[in-house]
Structure 1
Amino acid sequence: MPRVTSADVASRAGVSRATVSYVLNNTPGQSISAATRSRVLAAAALLGYAPSAAARTLRTGRSDVVLCLLPDWPIGNEVGNLLGNLSTELARAGLTFVVHPGSEADRPAAEIWKAITPAAVITFAGFSEDELGAMRAAGIAVVVALLGRPGADGCELQMPQQLIGKRQAHHLSGTGHSRLGYAAPDDDRLRIFAVPRLAGVRANTPAEPLVETVPLDPERAAEAVRRWYEAGVTGVCAYNDEVALAVLAGARRLGLRVPGDLAVIGVDDLPAARLAVPSLTTVTTDQHAIAAHLAVGVLAAMSGSPEPVPPGGDLIRVIVRESA
C-alpha cells in the first residue's frame, strides 16, 4: 500500500497542504477556524496519516527520538517500571522513547545510533571517550544514566546502589542483628548492581557479611541458608526480592522460622513480596522520581542547559513487613 501523505489528507479535507501542516503541527499565529481544524484532524484519522519522522527532522533540524541503550541485563520489574515511567515523561515533552536491549550478539552501539540518528542517547553503563566524541560530533546529546562513570561528561544520575545496601543493613542492625549474610544473585549480568549493594551492606555492619550466591531453586537455596545458620548469621540482605524469596523457600526446607531464626530483607517491592509467607520486608526506590529526573536531564542535555540536581536519598526507603 502506498504511504498516506499530507496531500491525501488535504484532498480529503478540502484544504491546502499548508493548512494540513499548520493544523497537525499546531503552528502558532495561524487563523484557522475550529471547523477546518476538526475537518483536517478527522481526515488524518480516517486515512491513518502518520507524519514522516524524517521530514519532521529536516523541517525542525532535530529528531524527536531519544534512544536508550540497555546493557545485557535481565529486564526485571524495577527496570521495566523505570523505562515505562521515562517513556511517559519524555512523551509529555513531545519526544519518542526507543529502547534497544543489549546482548553479546548485538551490533556495535555506534551502528545503532547512526541508524536511528536520535536527538539524545541514554546509556546505563557509560560510553568510551571515542564513542562520546563521535556522538557529540553528530550533534547528539548524551545522558549517562544510573551507573555511568563518575566524572564523565553529560547529565548523570549516579543511582545510589550502595544506599540500597545501607538501608538493608541499617534496618537489620536496628532490629538486633549483628551477624549478617548477603544473598547474591547467580546471574553475572547483575554484578553491576550487586557489587555496590554489597559494598553498602559491608560499610554499615560491624562484622564482614557472609556472602552466599543463592540460585532461584529451593534445594540449593537451602544449602546457603544452612551455611548461614551454622555460622551464626541471623539476618540476610538479599540482592533483590526474587533472591529473598529463594532464601525464604530455603529456610522453609530447613524448618527455620522467619524472622525468629533468620530475618530476610529484599529489594524492589515486587507484588510477590506482599504475598509471601511471611510477607517480605524490602527496600523500594521511587522510580517515578528517577524517571522525572532523567527526563529533565535529557532536555537539559539537548538544550545545553545545566545538569539538574540529582534527587536525594529519601527516594529509597524500607517497607517493613513480617520477614524482618
Structure 2
Amino acid sequence: MSQLPEQPAGTSVPTSADVARLAGVSRATVSYVLNNNTTVRISESTRVRVREAAADLGYVPHAAARSLRAGHTRMVLLPAAPTPAGRPHERFFTGLEADLRRLDYTVVRYGSVGLGADEAARAWAELRPVAVVSPSGITLTPKGIGVLTRSGAKAVITLGPQPVDGAHALVMDQEEIGGCAVRHLLSRGRRRIGVVIPQEPGLAPYAAPRLAGAVRAVEESSSGARVQPLPLRFDEASAQDLAGRWRGLGVDAVFAYDDEYAMLLMRALQDARVAIPAETAVIGAGDLMLCRLLRPRLSSVRTELATAQPLAEMIDRLVQNPGGAPERHDLLRAAAVGREST
C-alpha cells in the first residue's frame, strides 16, 4: 500500500476522492466498498485496500449525502424511555444495536423525557429515520405513527405490553411474569399472597398486568388462595412502614414486582424480625446477579426477550418490504428460579 502523503495543518476534511487516489481505485469503487454494496463484484484485496486507505485518512462516509442519494436514511431510532425498563431490556437493546450495525444501519438512541406521545413522534420524524423501535415507556398513538410514516419511516415498531394500531408490535406479556411468580409460590404451598404494586410514575404499564397475571394464576389453580395488592414506594421509609404492618396483613408470601423491590422489602422484613421464608416467602423478577448474593438467596422470575427471527433481520425485512399489514410477535419468555427465599 502506498505511503500516506503528508497533510499540512488545517487541511480540509478527507473526501472519497482522496481515498480513491490513495487506494488506486475509482470513487465508485470506494462508494461500493464503504457502503457495503454487494451487488458489484469487487475482490477482497481491493476491499481491504480501500478500507485501509479510509482508515489512514480518517475518512467516513457522509450519512446525510448518502441518504440524499438513496432517497432515505439508514437510521434506526431507538427512543429512550423515561423510566428504566431493567437489565434484560438493556441487554436486549444493546444486542439489537450491534446486530443493526452489522446490517449497515446507523443506530441512534434518542432521549424523549418530558415529551408527550405525539410531541415525541414529531421530534423523531425530524430526524427522518427509516425505522423506529419505541419502548413501552413512551405511548405512541395512531396519529404519531402516521406522522412517522409520512416522514419516511418504513417500519414503526412498538415494544410493550399491548400493540398499537398501525404499528408492528413486539408484545411483552407482563401478565406471564406475575402468573409465573404466583404459580411458583402456590407450588411451595403458599395461599395468602401479596403482590407489590410500585407507586413510582411510569411503572403502571408493567405493574397492572403483573397483578392481573397473579390473580389469574390463583383463579386457575382452584386452590382457594387469595391475592392482596400491596402498594409500595421505592424508598426505605415506605418499605419499613409496610414491614411494620406485615403480620397484620395475614400474607404468607409476596411477589415483589421485581428483584429491586424484592430486595428493598426483604431487608425491611428482616429488620422487622419477619422470618424468610418461614413466615413469608419472597420472589422477585429479573433474576439479577444480586439475587444469588443475598442471604437467603432470592427466588426470581427469569425473563428472556427473543423473537423467532432475529430482530435486526426482521427490521431490515420490514424496511425492505414496507406497506404490509402490521405484524405481532410475542417477545417474552418467563421461568421461575426457586432459591432459599421461597
Identity of aligned residues (%): 34
- Residue in 2 aligned with 1:112? 123
**Structure 1 residue aligned with 2:152:** 139
C-alpha deviation, 1:246, in angstroms: 0.8
2:5 — aligned with what?
A: none
Would you say the 8 A contact 1:297–1:308 is kept in 2? no
Please say if residues 90 and 295 of structure 1, whose CA atoms lie closer than 8 Å, have aligned partners that are also in contact: yes
Match of 1:247 in 2: 265
Name the amino acid aligned to 2:54. Answer: A
Specify which of 7, 29, 32 is matched with residue 17 of structure 2: 7
Match of residue 185 from structure 2? 172
**What are the Cα deviations for residues 123-153 of structure 1, in whole angstroms up to 9, with x where unaligned?**
2344222222222222313433232654612
Q: Mark the runs of 5 or more structure 2 residues left unpaired by the alignment.
A: 1-9, 219-223
Residue 194 of structure 1 aligns to a residue in which SS?
A: helix
Alignment of 1:113-262 (within 5 A): 113-125=124-136, 126-147=139-160, 149-150=162-163, 152-205=165-218, 206-262=224-280
Paired position in structure 2 for 1:86: 96
**C-alpha deviation, 1:318, in angstroms:** 0.9
Counterpart contact for 2:179–2:217, Cα < 8 Å:
yes
Q: Report the alpha carbon displacement of residue 4 of structure 1 after superposing the two structures with TM.
A: 2.1
- CA deviation after TM superposition for structure 1 residue 199, in Å: 1.2
Return the alpha-carbon distance in structure 2 between the equivalents of residues 309 and 110 of structure 1: 21
Conservation of the 8 A alpha-carbon contact between 2:297 and 2:340: yes
The 1:172/1:31 distance shift into structure 2, 3 A limit, reads closer
Aligned length: 322
Separation (CA, whole Å) in 1 of partners of 2:308 and 2:290 = 24
* TM-score where L is the length of structure 1: 0.88
Q: Which SS does the other structure have where 1:203 is aligned? A: helix
Partner SS state of residue 7, structure 1: helix
Matched, 1:301 2:311: no
Question: C-alpha displacement at 1:179, in angstroms?
Answer: 0.4
Aligned partners of 1:272, 1:198: CA distance in 2, in Å?
A: 24
How big is the shift at 1:273? 1.2
Distance 1:202 1:64, change over 3 A: same
**Structure 1 stretch 266-275 or stretch 203-212: which is displaced more?**
203-212
Unmatched 5+ residue regions in structure 1?
none
Q: Distance in 2 between matches of 1:37 and 1:199?
A: 56
Asked whether the 8 Å contact 2:157–2:169 carries over to 1, the reply is yes
Change (3 A) 1:34 1:135: closer
* Pair 1:309–1:128, CA change in 2 (3 A): closer
Tell me how far apart the structure 2 counterparts of residues 33 and 70 of structure 1 sit (CA, whole Å).
41
Give the structure with the larger helix fraction.
1
TM-fit CA distance, 1:219: 4.8
Distance 1:24 1:312 in 2: 34
1-side partners of 2:27 and 2:206: how far apart?
Answer: 52
Mapped partners of 1:163, 1:155: distance in 2: 21
Q: 1:69 aligns with which of 66, 76, 79?
A: 79
* Per-residue deviation, 1:257: 1.6
Cα RMSD (Å) of the superposition?
2.6
Which protein has the bigger strand share?
A: 2
**Structure 1 residues 199 and 148, CA gap change in structure 2 (3 angstroms):** closer
Residues 283-322 of structure 1: matches in 2 within 5 Å?
Answer: 283-287=301-305, 289-290=306-307, 294-302=311-319, 303-304=321-322, 310-311=329-330, 315-322=333-340
Matched to 2:329, the amino acid is P
In structure 2, the residue matched to 1:100 is 110
Question: 2:161·2:205 contact (CA, 8 Å) conserved in 1?
Answer: no
